[in-house]
Amino acid sequence: MTQDAPTPPQSAGAAERDARLKAARQHDAELREAQYTRKLTLAILSTLQNKGVLSSAEVDSILLAARRATDAAMANVTPTAAVRADFETPEAVPVKPDSWVKTAPKAPPVFDIQID
């Protein structure tokens, strides 16, 4: 194909799948970066504590403040539309709560009839 040739149109499902895949890859990259940053920060704090620059209480207070800031920031985060789409599929069929429970068949009623 040449550069001037039009690209074939993607189906709506393929475009949606590509968007979700891109969002998932970006999310994974962000998680890896956050984990790297966390480990690097812990290493720096540990080194400063071992060198005597920071006390144990100071390191603990820094970690506590960082945790609180992270929790506050995460409280305002909402999942992206691509992530929500994975959990809110229109194909999902609601299941009645007791539809999977099998009950034992009931015994037929017994009638005591006296014949005189």
> Do 20 and 86 form a contact (C-beta atoms < 8 A)?
yes
Residue 22 tokens read as 């891109």
Entry pTM? 0.47
Nearest to 80 by CA among 30, 34, 33, 35: 30
How many Cβ atoms are within 10 Å of 60's Cβ, its own excluded?
13
Each residue's pLDDT tens digit, 89-100:
555 555 566 655
Cα 17–21–27 angle (5° rounding)?
145
Each residue's pLDDT tens digit, 9-37:
666 677 788 888 888 888 888 888 888 88
Residue 50: predicted pLDDT: 92
